[in-house]
């Protein structure tokens, strides 16, 4: 099922949940809106009380596109890293573009105790705490701009199932070891196909040293060719 189909299914589940809430059989879904600092204070409190697991679908490109201020952006990784340090399992589904855009922010915490898998696209932004409460972005992309606070166990289970489906089809966002600085400077050159003589002048290395470090980088990445090195470095989110 594509993203549009998944969103349609979730909209139908929200309507069914509202019917159950009117009948008094489940807690009603609440809209959390207002200033971005307010919405994040609610989410921060929920994550601070997580005991076992946080499941999420995250794409950092949406934060950038929505022009969310840095002080708000930083709350995401702070809350998730704090939860991971308490022993809470963090499982994030993201996109390849989102992983690349996240290099400086660190909202995808697979390098800080969490786990992440990568899919082509995600249908919506969501955070599920202990499979008991879910925060579903009203605009599908950014929780800071408002979200549905879901406590209906049937609807939460449906959202967990969507996350499980995406997780099962995603590729591991293998962080691997951090590249030493002497090798990290080579990655953009290999990915772009920059000629060796141009790269040597730009980086300030002799041709012999450059060739030796390229061979070392290929060994670290576990590949045979420079083209493969560019692909693997992209897959790991290094470029």
In tens, the pLDDT along 157-174 reads 999 999 999 999 998 886
Same domain, 153 and 189: no
CATH number of the domain enclosing 210: 1.10.10.10
Contacts 24+ apart (CB under 8 A), 11-16: 13/154, 13/155, 13/158, 13/159, 14/148, 14/155, 16/154, 16/155
pTM of the model: 0.73
Whole-number pLDDT of residue 239: 61
Tally of domains within the chain: 2
Whole-number pLDDT of residue 235: 62
Same domain, 82 and 63: yes
CATH number of the domain enclosing 85: 3.30.870.10
Same domain, 70 and 89: yes
Same domain, 188 and 78: no
Q: Show pLDDT as tens, one digit a residue, over the chain (239 residues).
A: 788 899 999 999 999 999 999 999 999 999 999 998 889 999 999 999 999 999 999 988 888 888 888 888 888 889 999 999 999 999 999 998 888 788 777 888 887 788 999 999 999 999 999 999 999 999 988 998 999 999 999 999 999 999 999 999 998 886 555 667 777 778 777 777 788 888 888 888 899 998 988 888 888 777 788 877 777 776 666 66
Same domain, 124 and 230: no
Whole-number pLDDT of residue 133: 98
Same domain, 155 and 231: no
Q: What does DSSP say about strands 126-129 and 133-137: parallel, antiparallel, or unpaired?
A: antiparallel
Whole-number pLDDT of residue 234: 66
**Tokens 């549905």 map to which residue?**
148
* Structural domain that includes position 195: 181-235
Same domain, 50 and 132: yes
Whole-number pLDDT of residue 164: 95
Same domain, 25 and 132: yes
Same domain, 57 and 84: yes
Whole-number pLDDT of residue 179: 67
Whole-number pLDDT of residue 238: 64
Whole-number pLDDT of residue 175: 52
Edge-to-edge order in the sheet of strand 126-129: 30-32, 147-150, 133-137, 126-129, 53-57, 89-95, 115-119, 171-172
The answer to whether 142 touches 66, Cβ cutoff 8 Å, is yes
User: What is the phi/psi pair of residue 177, to 5°?
Assistant: -75, 150
- Separation of first and last alpha carbons in the chain: 30
Same domain, 87 and 186: no
The answer to whether 220 touches 179, Cβ cutoff 8 Å, is yes
Same domain, 142 and 192: no
């Amino acid at each position: 099922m594509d993203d549009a189909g998944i969103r349609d299914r979730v909209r139908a589940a929200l309507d069914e949940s509202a019917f159950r809430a009117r009948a008094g059989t489940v807690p009603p879904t609440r809209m959390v809106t207002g200033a971005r600092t307010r919405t994040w204070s609610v989410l921060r409190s929920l994550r601070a009380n997580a005991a076992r697991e946080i499941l999420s679908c995250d794409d950092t490109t949406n934060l950038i596109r929505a022009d969310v201020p840095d002080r708000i952006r930083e709350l995401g990784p702070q809350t998730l890293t704090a939860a991971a340090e308490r022993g809470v399992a963090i499982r994030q589904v993201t996109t390849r573009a989102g992983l690349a855009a996240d290099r400086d922010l660190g909202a995808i915490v697979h390098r800080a105790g969490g786990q992440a898998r990568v899919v082509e696209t995600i249908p919506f932004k969501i955070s599920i705490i202990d499979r008991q409460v879910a925060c579903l972005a009203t605009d599908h992309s950014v929780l800071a701009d408002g979200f549905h606070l879901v406590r209906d166990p049937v609807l939460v289970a449906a959202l967990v199932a969507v996350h499980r489906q995406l997780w099962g089809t995603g590729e591991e966002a293998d962080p691997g070891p951090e590249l030493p600085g002497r090798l990290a400077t080579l990655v953009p050159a290999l990915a772009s196909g920059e000629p060796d003589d141009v790269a040597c002048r730009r980086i300030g290395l002799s041709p012999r040293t450059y060739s030796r470090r390229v061979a070392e980088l290929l060994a670290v990445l576990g590949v045979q060719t420079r083209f493969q090195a560019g692909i693997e470095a992209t897959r790991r989110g290094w470029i």
